[in-house]
Amino acid sequence: MKTTRIVQNILKNYEGETPGVKAKLHGMLMHGKLAGTGKMIILPVDQGFEHGPARSFAANPGGYDPHYHYRLAIDAGLNAYAAPLGMLEAGADTFAGQIPTILKANSANSLMSGTAGKNQAVTASVDDALRLGCSAVGFTIYPGSDMALDMFEEIREMRREAASKGIATVIWSYPRGEALDKDGETAIDIAAYAAQIAALLGAHIIKIKLSTDHLSLGEAKKVYEAQGIDVATQAARVRHCMQSAFDGRRIVIFSGGAKKGSDSVYDDARAIYEGGGNGSIIGRNSFQRPRADALDMLGKLVDIYRGKA
């Protein structure tokens, strides 16, 4: 398939970037059923690290096998598949070249006591991404954590190395930590701030969570109210987050969280589409469903992002 004007316009926003990175972004934007549309659906499977194997895979035990996820992403025609080192390696030969991969380069786990602070371990390197033929590295930051400055410095260095070696950078910008209460983690002012920080750090693709209409920071709340920023609907909030990502100059994809009903998943996608977001990153809601159901659901999401549903 030839490149499209939509994709070319997206790439133009990545000024000053290496051709290698642009080629990798092009590769992901031109892969699968959404190729050429400027929209993306990515399958991420790092829940084994984050929540443990049983909580992640027992509901649909095929998922214990790393090959399952490669196949699901390929068969559903997604744009890319993201996972930690061991997970990607376990199918690296079998599926080489069949789908763009994103090496999730840091990971948290559910076995930390609270006292060690909100942080993740860096568990892979840019050279691992090169060796495994990945298109991008993925890296989580926790704006709001006392460890955030360290995480920003880690991704600065990894992003620099990755770009110089022609690898794109995806930042999972997840507000969390000492500065935030539970409502704050999903508040719209915080989500927009998280998108802005990722953009300022040089992310090529930004992954944030869908947000609520809660406003968390006092100083911010005053401004939202004074300026009448529309955060009433999910679509409006997506639009505000796109604005906060350099007025749409960066690709932003949204995640949906724990497994839920498909209608709810579709509603999310429609809001993302309506608000001008670039797509979904959808893990548990795909691989915890039986394979047939997951393929159905992903097919429906493709239709939504093609403006057909």
Chain residues 74-103 in contact with its own copies, contact rule CB under 8 A: 84-94
Closest by CA to 149, choosing from 123, 117, 124, is 117
- Active-site residue, selected from the candidate residues 68, 70, 174, 193: 174
Work out whether 287 is an interface residue with its own copies (CB under 8 A).
Answer: no
Q: Nearest CA to 108 among 34, 50, 63?
A: 50
Active-site hit among 118, 207, 224, 305: 207
CA distances from 179 to 118, 121, 132, 176, 291 (A): 11, 21, 37, 8, 40
Count the helices and strands in the chain (H runs, E runs). 15, 10
CB proximity list for 97: less than 8 A, separation 6 or greater: 133
- Interface residues for its own copies in 187-206 (CB under 8 A)? 189-190, 192-193, 195-197, 199-203
Q: How many residues bind its own copies (CB under 8 A)?
A: 88
Is 174 noted as a catalytic residue in this protein? yes
Which of the stretches 28-36, 123-131, 259-267, 297-305 binds its own copies when contact is defined by CB under 8 A?
123-131
Q: Is-catalytic flag, 70?
A: no
CB of 255 to its own copies, least distance (A): 19
Q: Is residue 254 a contact residue for its own copies (CB under 8 A)? A: no
Asked if residue 165 binds its own copies (CB under 8 A), the reply is no
* String of DSSP letters for 150-181: HHHHHHHHHHHHHHHTT-EEEEEE---STT--
| Residue nearer to its own copies on the CB measure, 161 or 267 | 161
Closest contact distance (angstroms) between CB of 114 and its own copies is 9
Complex with its own copies: residue 31 or 240, whichever CB lies closer: 240
Listed in sequence order, the residues at least 6 apart from 254 whose beta carbon sits closer than 8 Å to its beta carbon are 207, 208, 209, 210, 238, 268, 272, 277, 279, 280, 281
Q: Which of 223, 230, 290, 306 binds its own copies (CB under 8 A)?
A: 223
CA angle in degrees (0–180, nearest 5) for 156-160-162: 115
Helices 218-227 + 188-200 axis angle, to 10? 100
Judged by CB under 8 A, does residue 253 bind its own copies?
no
The residue from 246, 270, 276, 309 that contacts its own copies (CB under 8 A) is 246
Q: Which of residues 1-60 bind its own copies (CB under 8 A)?
A: 13, 15-17, 48-49, 51-55, 58-59
Which are the catalytic amino acids?
A: 174, 207
